[in-house]
Chain A
Amino acid sequence: MVHENSVLLALEYDFYSGVRQMDLELTPDQRLFQSTTREYLDRSAPIGTVRELAESGTGFQRDWWRQGAELGWTAMLVPEQLGGGTVSGSPMAELAIVAEEMGRTCAPGPLTTTSAVLAGLVRAGEAFADTIGSIVSGDSVVAWAFYEPGRGLDLTRFSVTAEPDGDGYRLSGSCDRVESGDQADAFLVAAQSPDGPVQVLVRADVPGVSVTPLWTLDVVRHTALVRFADVAVEPAAVVHRGADATAAVEAQLQVAAALAAAEMAGAADRTFEFTMQWMFDRYTFGRPLASYQALKHRMADNKMWLEACRATAVAAAKALDEDPGEAAEAVSAAKSFVGSKTPVVIQDCVQLHGGIGVTWEHDIHLYLRRVTLDRALYGTPEEHRRRITDLLDRSAA
């Protein structure tokens, strides 16, 4: 009954159409950027390299990140006069390309957190040109610190306190889930002052700052606990105050959440591809797994969820490019949807692999780890669903 040749041809056809489909949403320049990014990642951070980095406890290598920065990974959100620039005028769509490609290889690196930081810094304009420039060049890594240890997402209050000290502050408190915090040169810290929220830049090597790497589910994407013990913040390091700070943390969260969604979509897409290949290669009772209707229907469901994930991840990035002030709902829809569906899809792919799927040797757990981490950071699906309802309430009121 099974004609293998036609089956494999058809399979190739779909992969081909899948790639073409992604291209459809891209300009020629963006397509070139995508292939350059993919080639660089395939060459410099294939899954074997990711495993080596994991074994050695290295998150990412600074030279590797610098080369990524040269490809434009850190430039998108930064205006040209500050040393940045986009490929064809759609910064988030282009950054989402990088995130999706990183998902496809489980790449290391601080893309999400530095992008969030840049989104915040550029709002303060020229004042932070030097810091922005060193992030764009890849020479320095700045991580965003905003999560109160042990608590969920709350952008209305921050546990780090900023006591006024002249025009500057003294910071006390701590943040966890600081992505790439163990390798960051500095932090953009969201803190609470008596006059409202503030965001300040703090170098990692100043007195009073201590960084504790934390256990993290992903093998190369590390998080850290960062403590601030009466750390002096110069006025020149205060990035946002009051309403500016409120708007900035919201914008930063949206950037990070949209990129996490794109990365999860990429990771699940790659998992789906090699699972499909496995189903054609693996024979049982004299037939390939791909020929069993019970399994075909599951892959049909998975295909549907993944197409929807890609649709909403692209839409969130587009919304941020087109009207960032109105993108909150699109971003939360994407983050909650992709964050809830991709782990389920990949778990099903684990099941379809059989016993090999739950071995350390098989790569599938690396993808599962990545989406499970991304699912939870920058707002869980549940938190983003509540954000959507808050928006519904607000528009009804």
Chain B
Amino acid sequence: MSTRRRRPASIAGPPTARGAQRTEPVESFRTRARRWLKENLPPAPQNYRWYGDDAQWPRARELQKILYEGGFAGICFPREYGGLGLTAAHQRAFTEESMGYEMPLSLNVPTFSICSPTILDLGTEEQKRKHIPAVLKGEEVLVQFLSEPKGGSDLAALTTRADRDGDVWILNGSKIWSTFAFAADYALCLARTDWDAPKHRGLTMFLMPVHTEGVTIKRIRQTNGSEEFCQEFFDNVVLPADSVLGEVNGGWAVASRQLFHERNAVGGGSPYVSGARPRGGGEVTDLVDLAQRSGQLADSRVREDLGETRAMRLVEEQLIARVTQAIKAGTMQPHASSILRLFHAETVWQQVDAALRIAGAVGVAGAPGHEQEQGEVGEDYIYRQASGLGGGSTEMARNIISERVLGMPREYAADRDVPFRQVKTGR
């Protein structure tokens, strides 16, 4: 079966014969995926920490290559760029079937779900043909260079600059919070190219190589011990003219697409994500185990915490289904994905808090018979707010929901329509 599905090496080769007119029914796709997964992928590693070690990167590329060759890569990506051109329902079926297997999960965000769809939306034909098939084969990892040390939510106030010099652009400045930049090949980097235009109108997006002369990458250690985030320093980095993604000074439109795809990905509504990992705070069944180990499973308050946690998870799935369906049908605007982003934070917070209550003392200090395993509950709690910050803060989500979804008046902005050169900035 997998032999029949094996695709030719040429980048544009569609996964099935061109003559095939009808889309494969989801259930038949699911059955085929189940069989293929069983034969081709190893079981998911035990105690998988999502911010695992650096070895996950070559491994992810390897796994992705296996998926590509088996005909299960890029399920919702267009066929002309090496994807399968199938529906979100096919992708969901595959993700469900893949749960017990080792998957290249680290490629999901931002490579598959944010950067690639943005290139598909706004890239040139050449950019799409160069990057998308490479991504789906596991040969290219993408990253976002957006936020800067001087400002988080106010992205458009960035001060990294790209100056035109004949045929090339010269990049200077610094970016931060780029996820796993050290492991990436290309970045979507937003830089200021016109200082006399108001802030949103003087930006340009560059599709730049990460490991090139003039780029220095520093890793940042998070409170949970992970080192997934990086800061980059640009010192006269030379970029060719065709590295512009979208229009010169039209970078905000590109960034907006990225932010849209990012909210979808963080909220769980992205069709480009393949495979899934346990949410922060662990699965509900882990909480049941935790309650058992801490001897509190019979306590009715603990049982309420467990039931509430399970209910939140179910409601989150139901909400994702409702909102993504409505956005697709056009009855809700795309901005409504911010509702999912906000709800996801609430779900994690509820779960992390419940875990801390259930663990009691063993969540914060070792005790005979309780190893550091339970301490992960405490570590998750320390890192709790990350789910309200990454992928755009919950405050920004509330702005979007109130202003764009509910139509409430926009906030006053001192920098609106002011040439960026004249806008006040902090230190």
Contact = CB atoms under 8 A, between A and B. Distances in A.
Interface stretch (A37-45, A52-60, A174-182, A301-309): A301-309
B312 interface: yes
A1 interface: yes
A17 interface: yes
Interface stretch (A87-95, A189-197, A311-319, A342-350): A311-319
Contact of B311 (A279, A296, A303, A332): A332
A70 to B, nearest CB: 31
Given A24-B329, A300-B401, A386-B304, A7 B409 contact: yes
A340 B319 CA distance: 17
Contact of B300 (A333, A386, A392): A386
Given A2-B409, A14-B407, A312-B318, A392 B310 contact: yes
Interface stretch (A74-82, A231-239, A252-260, A287-295): A287-295
Contacts of B329: 24
Nearest to B409: A291
* A contacts with B: majority SS: helix
B343 interface: yes
Contacts of B314: 312, 315, 329-330, 333
A73 interface: no
A151 interface: no
Interface in A380-397: 381-382, 384-390, 392-393, 396
Contacts of B285: 392, 396
A353 interface: no
Interface in B201-224: none
Contacts of A288: 409
Contacts of B310: 329, 333, 388-389, 392
A21 B321 CA distance: 12
Contacts of B401: 300, 303-304
Interface string B300-343: 10011111101110111011011101100101110000010011
Interface residues of B, number: 46
A299 interface: yes
Contact of B319 (A3, A9, A308, A332): A308
A23 B330 CA distance: 12
B399 interface: yes
* B contacts with A: majority SS: helix
A392 B285 CA distance: 8
A378 interface: no
Given A311-B322, A382-B304, A388 B311 contact: yes
A229 interface: no
B333 A297 contact: no
Interface of B: 284-285, 288, 300, 303-308, 310-312, 314-316, 318-319, 321-323, 325-326, 329, 331-333, 339, 342-343, 346, 395, 397-399, 401-403, 405-412
A330 B410 CA distance: 38
A291 B412 CA distance: 10
A282 interface: no
A276 interface: yes
A66 interface: no
A307 B339 contact: yes
Nearest to A20: B331
B284 A392 contact: yes
Contacts of B331: 17, 20-21, 23-24
A310 interface: yes
Given A24-B325, A297-B395, A315-B318, A389 B307 contact: yes
30 contacts: A1-B410, A1-B412, A7-B409, A11-B406, A14-B405, A24-B326, A293-B399, A296-B408, A297-B398, A301-B398, A303-B339, A307-B319, A307-B322, A307-B323, A311-B319, A312-B314, A312-B318, A329-B314, A333-B310, A333-B311, A333-B314, A336-B307, A337-B312, A340-B308, A385-B303, A385-B306, A386-B307, A388-B311, A392-B306, A396-B285
A70 B143 CA distance: 61
A57 to B, nearest CB: 37
A392 B333 CA distance: 37
Interface residues of A, number: 55
A389 B306 contact: yes
Nearest to A392: B288
B425 to A, nearest CB: 22
A71 interface: no
B9 to A, nearest CB: 43
A193 B242 CA distance: 83
A358 interface: no
A396 B285 CA distance: 9
Given A301-B342, A307-B323, A312-B318, A385 B308 contact: yes
Given A337-B312, A386-B307, A392-B284, 16 more contacts: A1-B410, A17-B331, A21-B326, A290-B408, A296-B399, A300-B397, A301-B398, A303-B339, A307-B319, A307-B323, A311-B322, A311-B323, A312-B314, A314-B322, A329-B310, A382-B304
A155 interface: no
